[in-house]
Amino acid sequence: MAERAADPTWGVLAEFASPTALYRACEQLRDAGFTRWDAHSPFPVHGLDRAMGLRPSRLPWVVFGGAMLGAAGGLGLQWWTSTVAYPQVIAGKPHFSWPAFVPVTFELGVLAAALACVLGMLHFNRLPRLHHPIFRSARFEGVSDDRFFISIEAADPRFDRNATLGWLTQLGATHVELLDDEG
Amino acid sequence: MSQQPTATELSLNLDEPVDQRPPLLLGDNSFRGITEAVCRPVEWVPPRGWYIFFGVSLALLGVLVLSTAYLFYMGTGVWGLNNPVGWGWAIVNFVFWVGIGHAGTLISAILFLFRQRWRTSINRFAEAMTIFAVMCALLFPTIHVGRVWVIYWALPYPNQMGIWPNFRSPLLWDVFAVSIYGSVSLLFWYMGLLPDLATLRDRAKSQLRRVIYGIFALGWRGSHRHWQHYERAYLILAAISTPLVLSVHSIVSFDFAVSQLPGWHTTIFPPYFVAGAIFSGFAMVVTLMTIARTVFGLEHIVTRRHFENMAKVMLLTGSIVGYAYAMEFFIAWYSGNPFERFVFLNRAFGPYAWAYWIMVTCNVVVPQTFWFKRLRRSLLWLFIASILVNIGMWFERFVITVTSLHRDFLPSSWDYYSPTFWDVCALVGSFGLFFTMFSLFVRFLPQVAMAEVKAIVPAAHVDHATLHPAAPHAATLPPVPGAPAAPGAAPAEPLATPASLPQEA
């Protein structure tokens, strides 16, 4: 209780004037070994992954798995319905006339891949999350318009209230503010 | 990237140069300027023209509702179908609408994979068109089945009748292809909307708007850790939508091509249908965009260059369609099959010759005018031509469907098919559905993908040239960066050499 009252800080939010300034600051933060931090921009800034030292997204594997499951499920459905559940001879073809099953197999593979893609993206991003401490900043509304930010969480082991704030200003932040946690 | 003009060039360059490539965006293309231009139609009271357009669309939608109610009450006998012609306007309209949708996917997915950055100004609009066109398309096979209340029998679900659908039928492939196409297009579109919904949320003046846009934005906060997965997801969706869109119209063409009927049973159908679909879809984008950019003042984002590019795509796909028409005739002769030959001669010179020649004029002759730069850049001609192309493409489906059926193998059953009042109502009404959805879209959602357009303006690029001479000293916790407390603008570093300047002036 006392501890919470002592430090309700969620983290710090620093604003930068341009993608270039943001990029430069991200490189510095990466090299300084920060872990729980993020950059925010109205559009994906090209190359920022590298400046932040992010590993490539694992999403392709999720999508691949989804596609395979969907296609296998689709083919399985057609195999089962036309040989086990409801075997009919149609146009003199064998029960499991697989060439005729290709279109639906493909389409179901695509459907499952697309669902895996969007849901996987949301899962990796921990979205939907309608509220977040960062939204407490009034300036942050500009993040979807023309502003660029870096946020560092207080939970980051390298976070030091005063030093980090001053350092961000030195890195070229035009505005720095502390944000409270939801508590 | 090197063709990007500098910011000063852009602000001066209101008149596009003739001999060098015009810029993708004109006028105020600061990030704020783009946000303002795109959000204005969503946030202001719409102009009177919007209300008139919406009212007319809604009235036409009413026509659709009433004529469909009458159809359900009376049965498909109210349409002009007769004995040899068992597939009439319903299937024609279905193929027409699916085809229109395909340009949206082409623009959003295929042009994305080819890094055609001009697509960013029109892709949102075209994707919306896709979704509404697929809605119209799905309507027709649904209502044409006669007993619409058991349409769900087309889906594979365990049932007390112990029966399952026949997966060997192209008509069932169609159920899957078109409904999955609609679903995937919707996912793609919605994902693309996320950052822009966040913009609308952050700009909202009223609590209601804030909450509604906020819920749909899913809490998007522009985080780069999110952008990273998001961009990857976007790329993957583009990559899987590309074969999807090709497969969908191929499967639609299988509805015809897999049958044994002369005029339908041809292997050229899948590519020919796909080209025709893209052709008609681009025409529809041109028609709608010409109106919307003027009404909503987006001329500096959707420029003549975009229209010129779309005209080029129409020229290409229109020529493929023309080639397919010629090849069908060649094969009819070359195959030596008398039935095949009869069908094609009958198509061009029989009772439906009028429809055939409308089709040829609109689809083959009209796009050839796009060889001329002046006509490609004339918005008036593009607007007229795009409407002619869509008339032509509707007639293409009419010609394929009806002329192949109306004189079948047995001359005693030959008949002439004409639509009834209720056929016309269904087609006109489907335009009502399409335009009603479109009016709502331009009123409540951003018509241009703001985040994507912002990413292609010159100011969005990280200026590595000014960065790297200064960056090499790896920072430990309190380093002393070169320019303390400078407002971080690009030319902050004095080390920038003249060679490094072209990116940002």
Domain that includes residue A139, residue range: 2-55+131-180
H or E stretch covering A11: strand A9-16
User: Does A167 contact chain B (CB < 8 Å)?
Assistant: yes
Contact B87, B400 (CB under 8 A): no
Contact B478 A166 (CB under 8 A): yes
Q: Which residue among A124, A139, A160 closes a domain? A: A124
**Same structural domain for residues A114 and A92?**
yes
**Same structural domain for residues A51 and A88?**
no
Q: Which residue among A124, A148, A164 closes a domain? A: A124
The tens digit of pLDDT for each residue in B90-108 reads 999 999 999 998 888 888 8
The tens digit of pLDDT for each residue in A59-82 reads 999 999 999 999 999 999 999 999
pLDDT at residue B33, as a whole number:
86
- Angle formed at CA B225 by CA B224 and CA B228, multiple of 5 degrees: 80
Residue B459 has pLDDT above 80, yes or no: yes
Burial of B52 (0-12, 13-18, 19+ CB in 10 A): exposed
Closest to B419 measured CA to CA, from B86, B145, B89: B89
Q: Distances in Å between the alpha carbon of B443 and those of A144, B49, B222, B243?
A: 20, 12, 24, 32
Residue B501 has pLDDT above 90, yes or no: no
Number of folded domains that form chain A: 2
Would you tell me how many other CB atoms lie within 10 Å of the CB of residue B56?
15
Retrieve residue A148's tokens.
């660029």
What confidence category does residue B300 fall into, taking pLDDT thresholds of 50, 70 and 90? confident
Q: What is the DSSP letter of B485?
A: T
B27 dihedral zone (left: phi>0; alpha: psi -120 to 50; beta): left
Mutate one of B127, B168, B181 to test the A interface: name it (highest A CB count within 10 A).
Answer: B168
Question: d(Cα B165, Cα B168) in Å, to the nearest integer?
Answer: 9
Mutate one of B190, B236, B250 to test the A interface: name it (highest A CB count within 10 A).
Answer: B236
Helices and strands in chain A, H and E counts: 6, 4
* β-strand partners of A13: A151, A177
pLDDT at residue B372, as a whole number:
94
The tens digit of pLDDT for each residue in B47-92 reads 888 899 999 999 999 999 999 999 999 999 999 998 899 889 999 9
Residues 126-145 on A with a CB inside 8 Å of B are 127-132, 134-135, 140-145
Contacts of B204 in chain A (CB under 8 A): none
**Same structural domain for residues A158 and A176?**
yes
In B296-412, where does DSSP find H-type helix? 304-334, 338-349, 353-360, 366-368, 373-376, 379-398, 404-406
Strand, helix or coil for residue B222: coil
Of all residues in chain A, the one with the smallest CA distance to B467 is A24
The tens digit of pLDDT for each residue in B347-358 reads 999 999 999 999
Question: d(Cα B113, Cα B111) in Å, to the nearest integer?
Answer: 5
pLDDT at residue A183, as a whole number:
52
Closest to B438 measured CA to CA, from B154, B128, B192, B229: B128
pLDDT at residue B5, as a whole number:
45
**Same structural domain for residues A71 and A35?**
no
CB nearest B156 (choices: A39, A81, A129): A81
**Same structural domain for residues A29 and A117?**
no
pTM: 0.86
Q: Distances in Å between the alpha carbon of B212 and those of A130, B190, B298, B445, B447?
A: 11, 15, 25, 12, 18
Contact A52, B224 (CB under 8 A): yes
* β-strand partners of A148: A16
Residues 30-59 on A with a CB inside 8 Å of B are 31-32, 38-49, 52, 54, 56-57, 59
Residue, of B468 and B30, whose pLDDT is higher: B30
User: Does B9 contact chain A (CB < 8 Å)?
Assistant: no
Give me chain B's average pLDDT, please.
85
Closest to B184 measured CA to CA, from B242, B139, B112: B242
Question: d(Cα B379, Cα B387) in Å, to the nearest integer?
Answer: 12
Mutate one of A10, A48, A144 to test the B interface: name it (highest B CB count within 10 A).
Answer: A144
Contacts of A64 in chain B (CB under 8 A): none
pLDDT at residue B298, as a whole number:
81
What confidence category does residue B22 fall into, taking pLDDT thresholds of 50, 70 and 90? low
Residue B499 has pLDDT above 50, yes or no: no
Q: Domain ranges in chain B?
A: 26-260+273-302+418-460
Contacts of B492 in chain A (CB under 8 A): 21, 172
Q: Which residue among A124, A141, A167 closes a domain? A: A124
Closest to B108 measured CA to CA, from B218, B283, B244: B244
Mean pLDDT of B373-393: 94
User: Does B146 contact chain A (CB < 8 Å)?
Assistant: no
The tens digit of pLDDT for each residue in B238-287 reads 999 999 999 999 999 999 999 889 999 999 999 999 999 999 999 999 99
CA A111 to the chain's CA centroid: 21
Contact B225 A44 (CB under 8 A): no
Retrieve residue B438's tokens.
């479109």
Burial of B474 (0-12, 13-18, 19+ CB in 10 A): exposed
Residues 80-109 on A with a CB inside 8 Å of B are 81-82, 85-86, 88, 90-91, 93, 97, 100-101, 103-104, 106-108
Sheet containing strand A148-153, edge to edge, reads: A37-40, A148-153, A9-16, A175-180
Burial of B405 (0-12, 13-18, 19+ CB in 10 A): buried
ipTM for this prediction: 0.93
Specify the amino acid at residue B239. A
The segments of chain A whose pLDDT lies below 50 read 1-4
The tens digit of pLDDT for each residue in B168-222 reads 999 999 999 999 999 999 999 999 999 999 999 999 999 999 999 999 999 999 9
| Cα of B190 to nearest chain A Cα, Å | 10
Residues 13-32 on B with a CB inside 8 Å of A are 30-32
